[in-house]
Amino acid sequence: MAEETKTEPRQKTSSVKSTESAGKIRHIVKRMYKKAQQAKEEHKKIAYCMVMCNYEEILEAMDVVQVYTENYAGLCAVKREAEQYMQKAQAAGYSDVLCGYAQVGIGFDAWRHELGAMPPDAPDGGMPDPDMLLGCSMGCDPRWKWYQALGRYKDTPIYNMEVLMPPSDADFAAIKPYYVRYMAEELRGLIAFLEEQTGKKMDYDLLMSIVKQVEETRLWWRKAYDLRKAIPCPMSTQDHFVIFVPHHMLLTDSMTLDFYKGLYDELKQRVDNKIGVLDEEKYRLLWGVGLPPWHSMYILDYFLTFGAVFAAETAYMIPEPFDIPPDITDPVELIALRAYERNSALQRRGKEAGGVPPLAQAHLERIRDFSIDGMVMHVTRSCRAATMGQIFTRNVIRDSYPQLPVMFMESDIIDLHSYSEAETKNQIDTFMEMVGAYKKSQR
Amino acid sequence: MAKIALRGLTRARELYEHREARAKELAKKGRKVIGYFCSYTPVELFTALDLVPYRIQGKVGKPVEKAGQYLESIVCPYVRSCFDLALGGEYDFLSGAVIPHTCDAMHRVYDIWAYYLKPPFSHSLYVPHMTHPASYEFFMKEIEYLKRNLELFVERTASEEDLLKAIELHNRNRALLRELYQMRQPDPPLISGTEIMWVLVAGMTIPVQEFNELLEETIKEVRSRRPKSEGKPRLLISGSEVDDDDLVRLIEESGADVVMDDLCTGSRSFWQDVDTSKGAIVGLAERYLGVTCPRTYRPGKAPQRFSYLGDFIRDWNVQGVILYTIRFCDTYQLDAPEMKDYVESLKLPVLYLEDTYITSPIGQWKTRVEAFLETIETRRE
């Protein structure tokens, strides 16, 4: 059955990594799915989750095993195994332009429902059947709507949670109290739901200690990330697009803090010894907003052949810095405040900068801080949320950097149909000529 | 020669065809007209502050000219069309825009709209996606925040009494619309789906007081009708934004009666009243968060979530359902298969149409609609 629906031969799609830390990730991912499958066998509670919903610490404190479904779709795309699941979703009536992650996830569970068992040859053994579905509103609509759609195939309990993204021009002093209050109530609702599902009570002291450890983890990741400002750049976006995995999917795992400390040590050593991604770094690029083309990550390596390194990106960003206020003792209040502060930070800085939209603000900061010579934005057909606003962002950036070359690369996060390698390479050739001319003009 | 004032459906059609005319006229006279999107904007606030609500619409079939320089081609085509019209100056008469954070496209277009069009007033209203008790509390605060910003803009305040008066006017409007919709229940219906479309679109462009007058005239006119051609297939159309009569006209010219809808521009925008027993703001929050668009999470399985559709189908004696989605609308497209399952569980046929809005494939649909109507005829036999 699996062989009938597969249309793409399996091939290596990954990119070249420059750090040892990045080299550890494949093993970590395999272990993550294996542990989740074992947990299922041991009758532990499994939750389907979305990244960056601010509930990781709560799930850890309640001993709920987290399975990140968007990222499983990404894994399927990396392994060129996504098509079979997308076809299942489309056969079940879902549009071929629906979010690619959702298509894969719905197709996967539709197939599991049809077979009454794990789909055959599922990458890394597949996602275990969940005991609960935990969506959230931050990022895009499919991140909660997808789990509701799974109601066609399973009766799994759902808790969809609001995570607010304040408007860019808000009166932040006026909205903050009720934005934080709503977030706290949503988190309390989640805890009540989890207590019901697991039969356990929340240990708030444990939760507080997990929150503190998570913030320490983020501090180390940020310290490591900032080292990429160095010239030559010690780590590329190719590495970043796997380095984010422990933070986004294993945030509360005991090894994650050590992983980012190790990353910091490795990058520090590289910076101190002026070891860059390339021996001769000619250009520094920014991977602008747009999730990666998981199906063909090696295309990023083509930029290296021009002496160009992706020194920064605005996808899978590190959360904004957050100092834990010493007077807050309720971890739920703390997580709610943290979500507000982080989700409004770019808006507030953009407003202070005279009305710069938040997405443009994020790009402008990186162009300035990481000495950027050109920017690539990935137009992803099935991910409107990460695509809408790219042209706008480019236009706003031009006010500050009128000549900065920008390339719009068209493909998708999952679906190969809208991607042409030959055309993309031609486009890169032209773009790199522009970057060369720009760099020359800046000297 | 003195111009004869148009009334009832003739007036509705005139407003439908020149939908910005009346709002422009009012703007010229010094009234402030505020553009808004979606069925989630509590327009009672505008009325209470003597602002004219104007629902921003696109133009089906009109190619995008300028918006391509600002919005990606894979963005919701309805939003692209609206923004294109605005860039072309067609909404220059608006004094402001309220864009609710309802879906991804609406959320993201807000910054772009405010940045390029620079309306004297702009506001992003966060509409919760969830319907937990705290969601209603939050939405009340958001409505109060919108009210405060509108008050700062017009430099006057709206009292509770002002709000209650405005709500009364809008509730009256909803009651009149429901009365008109009841005239679609007989076989044959007293008013066609195409005519309903004219009335609905007209109403989005004028002050509520004028819309109420228009509805009273229309109801009187329609009530006196004695239509004869009974027995046509009776359809319900469910979807998002339909602000053009092309599709409904096509269906009706193909030999069916569109007798009910579940559209953002139709029943979804007026079916529920605002209950003011707990105060104006509480009433507005409860009413608007109760709008049944797929962008709001409502727990439960399909029979529970779509039971209102089942009620429409029963009460309007519907024999077939057309599910209409605009391409790239994730929220609707994630609901559509389950909605189709639900309607089919009621033993009704379903036709699923995905539209590109800007280049509506109306010609291609004719064949599909005709085949669908044949299916219904066969079942009826």
Looking at CA atoms only, how far is residue A170 from chain B in angstroms?
A: 8
Instruction: Dump pLDDT digits (tens) for B41-95.
Output: 999 999 999 999 999 999 988 899 999 999 999 999 999 999 999 999 999 999 9
A380-389, A410-419, B1-10, B303-312 — which is least confidently predicted?
Answer: B1-10
B297 CB neighbours in chain A (<8 A) are 144-145, 148, 160
Which residues between 129 and 188 in chain B have a beta carbon less than 8 angstroms from any beta carbon of chain A? Answer: 129-130, 132-135, 137-138, 141-142, 145, 148
pLDDT confidence bin for B227, thresholds 50/70/90: confident
Determine the Cα–Cα distance for residues B130 and A308; give it in Å rounded to an integer: 45
Nearest to A211 by CA among A256, A161, A252, A246: A252
Q: CB-based burial of residue A156 (10 Å sphere; 0-12 exposed, 13-18 middle, 19+ buried)?
A: middle
Determine the Cα–Cα distance for residues A213 and A265; give it in Å rounded to an integer: 19
User: What pLDDT is stored for residue B364 in this prediction?
Assistant: 84
User: What pLDDT is stored for residue B5 in this prediction?
Assistant: 78
Q: Which CATH architecture has domain B18-162?
A: 3-Layer(aba) Sandwich (3.40)
Query: Which residue in chain A is spatially nearest to B112 when comparing CA positions?
Result: A392
- What amino acid occupies position A331? P
pLDDT at B360 over 80: no
pLDDT at B332 over 50: yes
In a mutational test of the A interface, the residue from B78, B129, B293 whose CB has the highest number of chain A CBs within 10 Å is: B129
pLDDT confidence bin for B3, thresholds 50/70/90: low
User: What pLDDT is stored for residue A6 in this prediction?
Assistant: 42
Determine the Cα–Cα distance for residues A263 and A220; give it in Å rounded to an integer: 8
Contacts of B247 (CB under 8 A, 6+ apart): B237, B324, B353, B355, B360, B362, B365
pLDDT at A198 over 50: yes
Instruction: Dump pLDDT digits (tens) for A240-261.
Output: 999 999 999 999 998 999 999 9
In a mutational test of the B interface, the residue from A98, A363, A384, A415 whose CB has the highest number of chain B CBs within 10 Å is: A384
Nearest to A55 by CA among A149, A159, A141, A145: A159
User: What pLDDT is stored for residue A289 in this prediction?
Assistant: 85
| Residues of chain A above pLDDT 90, percent | 95
Neighbours of A203 (CB within 10 A): 13
Looking at CA atoms only, how far is residue A134 from chain B in angstroms?
A: 13
pLDDT at A10 over 80: no
The minimal CB distance from B327 to the residues A97, A141, A189 is found for: A97
pLDDT at B26 over 80: yes
User: What pLDDT is stored for residue B2 in this prediction?
Assistant: 52
- What amino acid occupies position A1? M
Determine the Cα–Cα distance for residues B8 and B6; give it in Å rounded to an integer: 7
Instruction: Dump pLDDT digits (tens) for A25-38.
Output: 999 999 999 999 99
**Chain A interface includes B66 (CB < 8 A):** no
CB A86 within 8 A of CB A119: no
Residue B353, SS3 per DSSP: strand
The minimal CB distance from A160 to the residues B134, B141, B297 is found for: B297
The pTM of this model reads 0.95
User: What pLDDT is stored for residue A1 in this prediction?
Assistant: 34
User: What pLDDT is stored for residue B362 in this prediction?
Assistant: 78
DSSP string, B169-227: HHHHHHHHHHHHHHTTSSSS-SS-HHHHHHHHHHHTTS-HHHHHHHHHHHHHHHHT---
The minimal CB distance from A395 to the residues B70, B105, B128 is found for: B70
Cα atoms found within 13 Å of the Cα of residue B112, Cβ hemisphere only: 27
Determine the Cα–Cα distance for residues B29 and B25; give it in Å rounded to an integer: 6
Instruction: Dump pLDDT digits (tens) for A39-50.
Output: 999 999 999 999
Inter-helix orientation angle B246-253/B193-203, to 10°: 170
Quick one: DSSP state of residue A161? B
What ipTM, to 2 d.p.?
Answer: 0.95
The minimal CB distance from A175 to the residues B70, B103, B145 is found for: B145
Inter-helix orientation angle A142-149/A100-115, to 10°: 20
Mean pLDDT of A96-111: 97
Query: Which residue in chain A is spatially nearest to B355 when comparing CA positions?
Result: A95
Say if the Cβ atoms of B112 and A186 lie within 8 Å.
Answer: no
pLDDT confidence bin for A11, thresholds 50/70/90: low
Given the structure tokens 């929150």, which residue do they identify?
A211
Nearest to A346 by CA among A171, A105, A169: A169
Mean pLDDT of A148-162: 96
In a mutational test of the A interface, the residue from B83, B111, B132, B306 whose CB has the highest number of chain A CBs within 10 Å is: B111
A80-89, A315-324, B12-21, B355-364 — which is least confidently predicted?
Answer: B355-364
Query: Which residue in chain A is spatially nearest to B68 when comparing CA positions?
Result: A391
The minimal CB distance from A388 to the residues B104, B114, B133 is found for: B104
Query: Which residue in chain B is spatially nearest to A149 when comparing CA positions?
Result: B334
Say if the Cβ atoms of B297 and A358 lie within 8 Å.
Answer: no
pLDDT confidence bin for A3, thresholds 50/70/90: very low
Mean pLDDT of A300-327: 96
User: What pLDDT is stored for residue B35 in this prediction?
Assistant: 98
The residue ranking higher by pLDDT, B301 or A193, is A193
Say if the Cβ atoms of B137 and A93 lie within 8 Å.
Answer: no
CB B201 within 8 A of CB B14: no
pLDDT at B32 over 50: yes
Q: Where are the domains of chain A?
A: 18-442
SS3 content of chain B, % helix, strand, coil (to 5): 50, 10, 40
- What amino acid occupies position A168? S
Say if the Cβ atoms of A149 and B334 lie within 8 Å.
Answer: yes
For residue A68, the cross-strand partners are A49
Say if the Cβ atoms of B295 and A141 lie within 8 Å.
Answer: yes
